[in-house]
Chains A and B, each alone.
Chain A
Amino acid sequence: MQENLVLKLDSIVKTFPGVKALDGVHLDVYPGEVHALCGENGAGKSTLMKIIAGAQPYTSGKMYVDGKDVVFHSTKEAERMGIAMIYQEFNMVPDLSVAENMYLGRLPKKAYGAIDWKKLYRDAKEVLHKLNLKVDEKTKVSHLSVAESQMIEIAKCLTIGAKVIIMDEPTAALTDDEIEILFQIIEDLKKQNIAILYISHRMDEIFRISNRLTVFRDGKFIATKKIEDTNYDDVVSMMVGRSVENLYPSRKYEQQEVIFEVKDMNSKGVHNVNLQLHKGEILGISGLLGSGTIELSKLIYGAIPKVSGNVFVNGQEINCDTPKKALAAGIGFVSDDRKQEGLVLIRSIRENIAMSSLKRYSKGIQINKKYELGQVEKQVKALNIKISSVSQLAGKLSGGNQQKVVFAKMLEANPDILILDEPTRGVDVGAKAEIYAIMDQLTKEGKSIILISTDLPEVIGMSDRILIMREGNVVFEISKEEMSQETILAYASGGVSEHE
C-alpha cells in the first residue's frame, strides 16, 4: 500500500522566527482520493498547503511525490511534479480568454514562434469537455462568474497534468447549485485517479465528499481517519482539543416591544421590504445567494443608496443614508467581507477597534489615548481576541480573530441594533462558538440583532424568528417552532408558493 502513495509528508517542521508553525506533520495521500484537511484557523493548514505547493520551503522533514524524495523551490517545480493549488483568490488574467488562461506561460507555438491558436483552442476545448464544462474557450475570463472562474482554475490544473490538486475553501463563494457542479467535477477527477486535498470549514461538505481526513491542531498532526470511522463531534473535538457540546447557546426569548422598523424599503435588488425588530431579539434573514439579503442590510445601514423606504428607531423616523448617520442613530453593521469592508489591514488592531468611536474618545480635537487604549484593551479581553499586542497589524491575524476585531469595533461604538452579515464566514469552530455566545450576551443586555446568513444551521441555531427572502422580496416568516432547514430551503428556492 505504502508505495502507492502519490504524496507523503514525513515529520515536516516549519519554523518562523519565534514560532513553530508546523511541528512534525505527517500526511499520506493516495491517488484518486479526496483527503480533507481539518483544523482551526492558525492550526497550520495554510502553511502546510503552501509547503506542498512549493510556495514556501520547510525547515526539516521529508516530502515524497510518487515515492521520490522532493524539495520544491518554487510553485513551478511543484507543478512539474504534478502538484497544483487553487487559491481562494484566483490567479487569472481577466482580459485574456479562458483558453489563454488555461495555458498561460505554456501557450502552444508554431515553428517560427507565433502562437498556435488552433491547437490552443482545440486543446482547451478538449479539457473543458473532459470536465463537462459548458464554457466557451474563447470567452474572456472577466465575463465569467466566480464559480466558472473556479472551474477554469481546475481545468488549468488538468492541463499541467496535476496528480494532486489542493483546493482551499473552494465553496466559499459558490451558490448551492454551483457547489453541486463542483462536487460532480471532484467525482470526475477522482475517477481520473487525481488526488484532492480539500480544505473547508464546512463540515457537512467534508463528510459528504472526502474519503479520509487529517486533523491538525496548533501546528501538530492529530490524526488521520477514514470518513466512515469518524463523525462530526469527533472531528470538532479533535480540532479544538476539547469537546464543543453546544455550538449554539440555548435561547429563551420572550417578545418585547418593537425597537426598530423598516417600511417599504426599495432599491435595486430589494423590493418593498418591511420588517420589525423587537428589543433583545435575534432576527434571522436568510435566502439564497443573490436574494437581496446583503443588499437589504447595506440599505438599512446607508452603505448603498436606496430608492425609497423609511427606517424607525423607537418609533421615530431616522435619516440613515450614510453609515455615519446610521451609526449615530444606534445602528451597527458587520460586513460579510472583513478584508475589503471590515478592516484596515495595514493599520493596528488598536486603530481598527477605535475607528468607529473616535469622537467619543476625543476632547476637542485631541484623542484621549489613555482612555482609548483602556477601552480597546477591554474589548480585546471581553471578546477573547488572541493577539500579542494591540499595535499588531490587523492583517496579521487569523480569520476568527480578525472577525472579532470587527465585532469589537462595532461593540465599542455601542449601537442598540446590530446588523451582522455572515458573521462567522471563514471562522473556525472555536471562534464561532465564542461569536454566538457574544451575540447571545448582547441580546441579554437589551440589544437587538439582525443576523443575515446563508448558513442554515447558524440561522436556525441563533434566530428567534426568521425572514426568508427571494428575488428581493421577503416571502415568508418562520417562527422558532417551525424552523427547519427544509422549510427555509423550500421558501428560499421558491419550492413553496408564498403565503398570501
Chain B
Amino acid sequence: MNKNKLINQINVYRSVMILLVICVFASILSPSFLSVNNLFNVFKQITVAGIVGCGMTFVILTGGIDLSVGSIMGLAGVLASGVLATTGNVFYAMGTAILIGIVCGTVNGFWVAQCGIPPFISTLGMMTLLRGCVLVYTKGSPIPVKVDAYKYIGKGTILGVPVPVILLLIIFILAHYVLTQTAFGRCIYAFGGNKEAARLSGISTKKTEWMVYVINGLMCGIAAIILTARLGSAQSTTGEGIEMDAIAAVILGGTSLSGGTGFVLPTVVGAMIMGIIDNILTLMNVNPHATNIVKGAVILIAVLVDKKVKDLSAKAE
C-alpha cells in the first residue's frame, strides 16, 4: 500500500521532480547556475512562455489547442508599439495590446465554439491570417520602443525582483484560482472530460469553450507587452514559435491533450524546465543551434517517463 501511495504522490508532483533533477544536473554542470542573478534571468526568460502556457492550459483542458498564440502576440506587439510611437502614452499602448489579444481570442472562440470548426484547423488559419496582418502593418521593418516607462515592464525590478516575474506570478495565481475555486473552472474541467454530460448538466458549453479562447488571447496580449518591452522593439517575427514552447510547457506539466485533467502549476514548471535547459546550454557555451536538439530530446524523454509513471500507477490500482 505504501508503494502505491508513493506512486500517487510522484504522480501529482512529477513535473516538480523533473525540474529538481534538472536543477541538480544544471548546478553540477555549471557552478554559476545557482547565482541569484542567473536564476532571475532564467525566470525572466520563461515569463512569456509561462504566461502563454497558462492560457494554453485553459484551452487544452477543454480538449482544444491554440496555434495562433504567436501571431496574436505579434499583432498585439506591433500595434502596441505603433500606438506607443505615435501617442507616447504607455497606457494606450498596453490597452491596445490587451484589446487586440481579447479580440483575436474572441474570433478564435467564434470559429471553434460557435461554428464548430476543429480548434487545430481554425487556429491554424488564424495563425497565418494574423501573421499576414503583422507583415502588412510593419511592412517587414521593426518598430522600436523608445519610452522608458514601457520598457520598465520588461526590464525593471521591484525590490530586486524583475517585473515580468511578478506579472507571471500574479497571472499564475489568478489562473489557478479560476480553475480550482470558481464555477467557471469546474465548467472547463467538465467540458474537457465529457462535453455532452456537461451540456446535459446545464452547463453552457458554448460559453465555456468560447471563454477559454478569450482568456488565452488576453494572455497573449499581456505576453506581447512584456516581450516587446524587454526586447525594446516589436518585429514582424515577434512571437513566432511561441505556440510550440507553450504547448511543450503544458505537455511537460503532464496535462492531457485530450482535456479534463491538469493544472496551471505544472505548466509553469514545464516552462521553467525548458528555460533551465536553454540557460545551462548557454552557460556551457553550447552552439545555440544545437539547443533545439536537446530541448526536443528532453520533451520526448519527459513524456516517456510520464507515461511509464502513469502505467505504473494504473497497475497499482
**Contacts from A to B (Cβ < 8 Å):** 16-18, 301, 303, 322-324, 326-328, 333, 335, 340-347, 351, 354-356, 358-359, 361-362, 365-367, 369, 396, 409, 413
Contacts and interface: CB of A to CB of B under 8 A. Distances in A.
Given A354-B186, A362-B183, A367-B183, A346 B261 contact: yes
B191 to A, nearest CB: 9
Contacts of A365: 182-184
Contacts of B193: 344-347
* Top-10 shortest CB links A-B: A344-B193, A358-B183, A327-B202, A355-B201, A344-B194, A324-B202, A356-B201, A365-B182, A346-B193, A346-B260
**Which range holds the interface residue count of chain B?**
20 to 34
A409 B201 contact: yes
A358 B186 CA distance: 8
A333 B200 CA distance: 8
A345 B194 contact: yes
A17 B196 contact: no
Contacts of A328: 202
A367 B202 contact: no
Interface of B: 1, 4, 181-184, 186-187, 189-190, 193-194, 196-204, 260-261, 316-317
A310 B261 CA distance: 39
Contacts of B203: 324, 355, 358
A129 B316 CA distance: 46
Contacts of A327: 202
B186 A341 contact: no
Contacts of B260: 344, 346-347
Nearest to A326: B202
Contact of A16 (B187, B197, B317): B317
Contacts of B317: 16-17, 396
B59 to A, nearest CB: 18
Contacts of A341: 194, 196-197, 200
Contact of A366 (B182, B196, B198, B199): B182
Contacts of A324: 202-204
A359 B183 contact: yes
A340 B197 contact: yes
A323 B190 contact: no
A17 B204 CA distance: 40
Contacts of B184: 365
Nearest to B193: A344
Given A17-B316, A17-B317, A413 B202 contact: yes
Contacts of B187: 358
B202 A323 contact: yes
30 contacts: A323-B201, A323-B202, A326-B202, A328-B202, A341-B196, A342-B197, A344-B189, A344-B190, A344-B194, A344-B197, A345-B193, A346-B261, A347-B189, A347-B193, A347-B261, A354-B186, A355-B197, A355-B201, A355-B202, A355-B203, A356-B202, A358-B183, A358-B203, A359-B183, A361-B183, A365-B183, A366-B182, A367-B183, A367-B186, A409-B201
Contact of B190 (A326, A342, A347): A347
A342 B200 CA distance: 7
A180 B72 CA distance: 61
Given A344-B194, A346-B260, A323 B182 contact: no
Contacts of A322: 204
Nearest to A369: B181
A345 B317 CA distance: 16
A59 to B, nearest CB: 14
Given A324-B203, A355-B186, A359-B183, 14 more contacts: A323-B202, A326-B202, A333-B200, A340-B194, A340-B196, A345-B193, A346-B194, A347-B189, A347-B193, A347-B261, A356-B202, A361-B183, A366-B182, A413-B202
A351 B1 contact: no
A18 B183 CA distance: 35
A335 B200 contact: yes
B214 to A, nearest CB: 16
Contacts of A18: 1
B190 to A, nearest CB: 5
A367 B201 contact: no
Given A18-B1, A324-B202, A347-B260, A355 B190 contact: yes
